[in-house]
């Protein structure tokens, strides 16, 4: 899972963390296909909205996982403790925002 301009180093084999993220994204995509099928079948709006909330929650969890991995990478490259604290504070702030929605 390498990408141009993403900060990821190019390599042939994904890490365990990358495989887990990819699996979670595939699962969320499957959930979303299920929501579409529910909508097309005329299921009750409350049921559809519950499933949309579940998909959003799954995507938020994936986004936080990616953010955590990136923060750890930045933390390894940080030159001083102050920068490491700033990265930790940033990720905590993003987590609070995501959970407050």
State the pLDDT confidence band at 78, using cuts at 50, 70 and 90: low
pLDDT in tens, 37-73: 999 999 999 999 999 999 999 999 898 888 888 877 7
Crossing angle of the two packed helices 16-40 and 45-77, in degrees rounded to 10: 160
* 49: enclosing H helix or E strand: helix 45-77
Q: Residues 21-43: what's their mean pLDDT?
A: 96
Task: Please give the DSSP secondary-structure letter assigned to residue 9.
Answer: P
Q: Tell me the percentage of the chain whose pLDDT exceeds 70.
A: 82
Decide which of 6 and 24 is more confident. Answer: 24
Strands (DSSP E) contained in 1-101 are: none
Q: Model confidence at 4, in pLDDT bands (50, 70, 90)?
A: very low
| pLDDT score recorded for residue 36 | 98
């Amino acid at each position: 899972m390498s990408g141009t301009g993403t900060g990821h180093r190019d390599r042939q084999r994904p890490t365990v963390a990358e495989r887990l993220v990819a699996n979670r994204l595939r699962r969320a995509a499957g959930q979303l296909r299920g929501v579409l099928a529910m909508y097309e079948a005329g299921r009750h709006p409350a049921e559809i909205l519950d499933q949309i909330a579940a998909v959003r929650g799954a995507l938020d969890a994936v986004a936080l996982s990616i953010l955590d991995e990136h923060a750890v990478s930045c933390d390894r490259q940080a030159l001083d403790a102050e920068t490491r604290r700033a990265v930790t504070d940033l990720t905590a702030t993003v987590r609070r925002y995501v959970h407050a929605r």
